[in-house]
A and B are shown apart, each in its own frame.
Chain A
């Protein structure tokens, strides 16, 4: 698993949310290639092939990162700024998937270069629909940067 590369990187500390997200993606056959990490540090390690993911090819980047904001160790905004600070991941699509409706979070996320900002609905149907649409868009409709598709 540590060597694996995937199309979707899910950064989510809440296991239930992660489960519901993955279930929604699976339900729509979009979860064939995904990685779930539970904190910001793990997300950075994965993306830059460090720590537990040092054996991974850092050039093999996901098509989209679903990033929660409230995360242990390194929070979502810090993760985003680190992604944008590095030349390799500068143009990596990052979708913020959060419970926060705070305007400050929203603005800060876009300032740091988020590609989308999705508030997780409480109702499961709405939630499920939102995840499906995000997956559909970024995995199938969107044309990702060259490097991301190099694999």
Chain B
């Protein structure tokens, strides 16, 4: 604009003029700033140029006004000096309302911090970033801003800004990857736009890759429940292609479509769901357990666009959980079983110990404590301590002084050898100072390292057992000496019997024999009375001989051993009767022999029983014209047969029944019925030696019945059935 060919003077003059203009321009500008003027007339090269802002830099102005980007100039304090029309359209207000206003009015609260940063920029400083513009209608406009400080004037460092509208771009991006919007965390909603912008600046496909790379099935659903997009994981888990999935109903891919439906309905109603359990069904039938997290995504107008749902496969987790539950259950069961078994065996042991009066003790060698159970305290007669603990000295002081050293040595041995010991020792019991005999067993318990950590043991008070044993020993000794005495007695009795049989009979024989000689040799010298008296002497001598014989038989019975054989009682009774009958052929005797089972006993002795009983029956019916004798059996009280002999003879007075079986006891005179009085005593002795019983009953002059039993020593009492008859001999 300055001519090259002008002179120095002209240049200088022009310089002066230009300076003046500049001053004027400044003044005008100030006036414009203050709103006082909107145009200036400036004299240039002799002519006057009207300068308005419109006119100032027309070309720039056209350019700036044509820009889609918004541009503005503001003072350092944020007063907008200039703004282009794009700004006004972005803010949806007339330009006049923008110029002269404070810039912060148009900035969204979220971007105020960014604005402050811009205002603080130093001269020449620059900044780029996202900025949210606040419109008067309440909406916000995302923009990208480039700003800096001018360095035109020292007095005012003005701020310039160029803002680009990002809404269209974002909208496009939203459409391209709706999922991206959903990917934004709800709590980060405030700076969602910032992330969008960044993502936009990087690449939409990058986001898409991320989504596709996700192993979790991700899906977007329309408000109607239709699938609008899926990732590859969704394809894998459903076994359907992306094309198959998109446009179909979301709920049909679950085992429980109703649950799926109510799930997304809840998302639309409440804005989100968290950990919503569903089971996805694969085309091949395989079921995958998942938890859904879903939330709504909206467009920039805040309108709900759809729901974004992310599923997390929890099949493995569930399986692991089930496995753990099962394992736990099994473990619990086993623990319970073991606990019960342990409790049962403990209880058994305790009961056994209690029943046996066994006391338990446990000596912990590590801390040198001894624990006793109840029975231990009771054995030692000590009061129970609260914790069951006692001191070693408490025990040792109760042990009999003579036994202490030995017992301690034995315990030491148990500990040192980690072995076991059995001991017997005496204690002095507390309350009564009684000396008791204890049987003890102990065993050391091996700990880690092979050393004894515990000694456990039992105590059993065996004093009574011990005393009983002593008593038995004494009794045995007494019995032995008694047996020896008895043997001596038997020998003496043998000698006596021998003497009786030999020596007493000889004089009787002499009496009888010489009486006979007198009769024979001196008969002519004797009168009738003399011969009668000699007869009496002989009779009595002979009777005494029989008495001695009976007595010897009776005595021998006690010493004879019984060798049991099977005896045909019926045949024996018959034979005995026939022999007795033969001695008295003139008598009339009705003999009824009923079937009689066999018995086990000493044959000769049992025969003697029959001889004496049947013999008595024969004897005591001697005065009957017709004697009646019955022999048979009755069922007995203990299952043994009861043999009986019944007659219709003289009988006896029941008052004397207790004398019936006494030796030499007679209930009749010798003149009435001869006898020695030994017969029934002999019967009783034989029956008793066979373990049986004999008894008699009668009514004077109405006959008598004698009964006896011979139990079989080898057999249980007879059940009553008849044994097979023995073949007759």
Report which A residues bind B (CB closer than 8 A): 14, 16-17, 20, 23, 69-70, 98-102, 120-125, 127-128
Contacts and interface: CB of A to CB of B under 8 A. Distances in A.
Nearest to A104: B494
A124 B506 contact: no
A122 B506 CA distance: 7
20 contacts: A14-B510, A16-B513, A20-B514, A23-B517, A70-B498, A70-B503, A98-B502, A99-B501, A100-B498, A100-B501, A101-B549, A101-B552, A102-B497, A102-B498, A120-B505, A123-B542, A123-B545, A124-B509, A127-B512, A127-B513
A20 B512 CA distance: 10
Given A100-B502, A102-B501, A16 B549 contact: no
B508 interface: yes
B436 to A, nearest CB: 55
Contacts of A69: 502
Contact of A127 (B507, B509, B552): B509
Contact of A122 (B498, B503, B505): B505
Which residue, of A70, A124, A127, has the highest number of chain B Cβ atoms within 10 A? A124
Given A102-B497, A122-B512, A16 B506 contact: yes
Interface of B: 497-498, 501-503, 505-510, 512-517, 538, 541-542, 544-545, 549, 552
Q: Which of B502, B514, B517 has the most CB of A within 10 A?
A: B502
A128 B542 CA distance: 14
Contacts of A122: 505, 508-509, 512, 541-542, 544-545
B516 A124 contact: yes
Nearest to B515: A124
A16 B510 CA distance: 6
A125 B517 CA distance: 11
B502 A20 contact: no
Contacts of A14: 506, 510
B600 to A, nearest CB: 23
Given A17-B506, A122-B512, 14 more contacts: A16-B509, A16-B514, A20-B514, A70-B498, A99-B502, A99-B509, A101-B549, A120-B506, A122-B508, A122-B544, A124-B509, A124-B515, A125-B516, A127-B509
B512 A123 contact: yes
A34 to B, nearest CB: 18
Nearest to A20: B513
A70 B506 CA distance: 11
Contacts of A125: 516
Nearest to A21: B513
Given A122-B541, A122-B542, A123-B545, A99 B497 contact: no
Nearest to B519: A124
- Residue of B506, B507, B544 contacting most chain A CB atoms (<10 Å): B506
A116 B503 CA distance: 21
B550 to A, nearest CB: 12
A7 B463 CA distance: 79
B501 A17 contact: no
Nearest to A101: B501
A90 to B, nearest CB: 28
A132 B158 CA distance: 188
Contacts of A70: 498, 502-503
Contacts of B517: 23
Contacts of B505: 99, 120, 122
A110 B248 CA distance: 132
A70 B503 CA distance: 9
Contacts of B514: 16, 20
7 A-B pairs with the lowest CB-CB distances in the bound complex, closest first? A122-B545, A16-B510, A124-B516, A124-B513, A20-B513, A99-B502, A99-B505
A20 B501 contact: no
A141 to B, nearest CB: 25
B278 to A, nearest CB: 113
Contacts of B503: 70, 99
A10 B538 CA distance: 26
A127 B541 CA distance: 14
